[in-house]
Structure 1
Amino acid sequence: MTISCPQCGAPVEARTETRFLHCPFCTSSFVAEAGVGIAEYHLAHGRDDRLAWSALVSTLEVEGADSSVEQESCDYLVAPFWLSRPDGGRRLVPARRHPWLGESSLVLPGGDLLFVPEGSDFTPPDITAAEALGEGAGKESGSLSLVHLPLYLLSFRAGGSQCRAVVSATDRRVYLLDSPPRRAVTLPFRHVALISAYALLLVIVGLSMRNHLHRAVAFAVIFGVSYLSLFAFLRREG
């Protein structure tokens, strides 16, 4: 069977319906899917587990979740995804069966898409494009490609709960598969008492003074004195 290279259009002989191929003319790599050549790419990246855990902690802090992470496991996976471009948009769908990939809605990270070099050992897809995207996938030239994305699969405990997260190794974007508990925020009794007394004083002054100018001056004085007092108190407490 002869398949046209999706990059240069040169004819390439293929022995099976679905396999990894390399064009002898432009040296690009691609996949044959149902007799159609589909370009195959990857994103260059070196593994660094510390960056993955750091990205996770930063995301938990931003979202107000408990960031006291107890690390359990970190798996590094370069997973294949079908990338389609319907109506000018982008749709990324897992091309390999993995429970974590099916639960996360990954987006294509920034970076240069590089052709997979000859002799590479990237994990091949076990989900066809038609199964993942529908029968019409890849009918238009250049509308479908296969992209290998480097990912970290993190298993951890936060706030006593078992959690999982997928981290993109290219841009360190974090996809939480389980929501960690929110970080509990508690105020000391002294602080609550001070704030309550300050609010009560403002209410009393506001009700007792009829003149708007006098009321504004009183509020300004109370605010200035209270601000300096509270600042000194909190600084001493810290």
Structure 2
Amino acid sequence: MNPLASHSEFSESATTFRSLVESRRAARQFAAEAVPETIIRDCLELAALAPSSCNLQPWSFQVVRDPARLQQLQQVCLGQSAARAPLIIAVLARPDTWRSACADVLKLWPEAAVPRVIDRFYKETAPFQYNQGWMGWRGFIKRQMVRVLGYKRPVMRTPNSLMQMRLWAVKSTALAAQNLMLAFQSHGYSTCPMEGFDEKRLKKILPLPKEAIPIMLLAVGLPGVHAIRNPRLRFPLEQNVTWL
């Protein structure tokens, strides 16, 4: 959107966005009709526009359309009716891709020359921040440094362990997953983010990278007759919001 757009134009966008968000519901039943590849690609492109820590984009997606694999996933998803969708996308957090991502930022920088501060950040600062070392030994040392330096000034305290790297990747990937769901909704396709699945069996069906964390299996398709089974319920806003 034009940054100089009028207030009325922003108001129109806000109304459209509210309508989109309010229309998104977790569908439990899907029609058998396949999702066109052009729409899948468009939605994945919009997912990739999500913000991520240091723009390292620690996510990947596996698009499952093969009928045999989809049938296997129904069992992996513990028999959920949503797992009978014509399309399932495995949304994966990737704490292991930070090193190649640093190199890709510099290689794919959208200007003729990479600014010196950017070059230094992705060659020095980011590697120091995200490299936890074998079995996390670097992270252990950094945690001691943080304890000392943090007495006198604010410091970057995470991620400084292998577990914190997993959390780091999951947080950014969750943002991309929300983009992905809203993108499909904008095309008229319903989704259901499934977290109930057998991760061990999933790894036998999909070629998941060793360090990948499957945070959800996203069922996608046109909504079936009984797609929405219950009324929407959300807690009162003031229950979870503090105004300071």
TM-score interval, smaller chain = under 0.3
What is the TM-score normalised by the length of structure 2?
Answer: 0.23
If asked which structure has higher relative contact order (CA below 8 Å, sep 6+), I would say 2
Higher strand share: 1
Query: TM-score, with normalisation over the residues of structure 1?
Result: 0.24
